[in-house]
């Protein structure tokens, strides 16, 4: 990718990422921004991002914050330059798995709390939801461990430290 433009292939990829993420409930610009950072050879400043994507600086700022919160984008700096820059964060994939695991924990807890209510205690669908969350959580934990092992073997990368989700969760009430 040249500093001042994107190639036709890069543009197709960036637009495809925008549409993909839009289908996942993320603003299209967020997906496009992530796509741009995936093909960028160097950190990009918000102004460069806005220019390359042909969007407003405010839109870049809003979406950068969301992508930072998701763990997929990190701030970066260039020595001697006071501007802010951003890069794709490969460890963000691990963070995405952690968010999914946390979501399963939260949903299981909501259902367990409901099952503790005398009026909801025998609800089959609530018990099934807890079982699904436990099953899916275990699958996600296995995937996260396999990803960390694969990522750690790559030259020039560092695997993230095992996170709280690597610890077993207390047994669900059934």
**Nearest Cα to 102, choosing from 24, 30, 163, 27?**
163
pLDDT at residue number 18? 97
Tell which CATH classification among 3.30.420.40, 1.10.10.10, 3.90.1660.10, 2.60.120.40 matches the domain 8-88.
1.10.10.10
pLDDT digit string (tens) for the chain, length 174 residues: 656 789 999 999 999 999 999 998 889 999 999 999 999 999 999 999 999 999 999 999 999 999 998 889 999 999 999 999 999 998 888 888 998 999 999 999 999 999 999 999 989 999 999 999 999 999 999 999 999 998 887 765 544 444 444 434 444 443
CA distance 29 to 45: 16
For the whole model, what pTM was predicted?
Answer: 0.71
**Model pLDDT, residue 174:** 37
């Amino acid at each position: 990718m040249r500093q001042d433009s994107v190639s036709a292939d890069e543009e197709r990829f960036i637009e495809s990422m925008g549409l993909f993420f839009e289908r996942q409930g993320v603003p299209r610009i967020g997906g496009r921004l992530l796509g741009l950072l995936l093909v960028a050879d160097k950190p990009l400043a918000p102004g460069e991002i806005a220019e390359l994507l042909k969007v407003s600086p405010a839109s870049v700022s809003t979406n950068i914050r969301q992508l930072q919160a998701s763990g997929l984008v990190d701030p970066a700096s260039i020595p001697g330059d006071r501007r802010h820059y951003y890069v794709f964060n490969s460890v963000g994939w691990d963070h995405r798995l952690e968010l999914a695991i946390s979501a399963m924990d939260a949903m299981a807890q909501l259902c367990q709390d409901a099952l503790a209510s005398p009026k909801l205690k025998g609800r089959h669908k609530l018990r099934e939801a807890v079982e699904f969350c436990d099953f899916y959580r275990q699958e996600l934990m296995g995937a996260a461990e396999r990803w960390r092992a694969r990522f750690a073997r790559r030259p020039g990368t560092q695997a993230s430290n095992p996170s709280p989700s690597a610890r077993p969760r207390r047994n669900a009430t059934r």
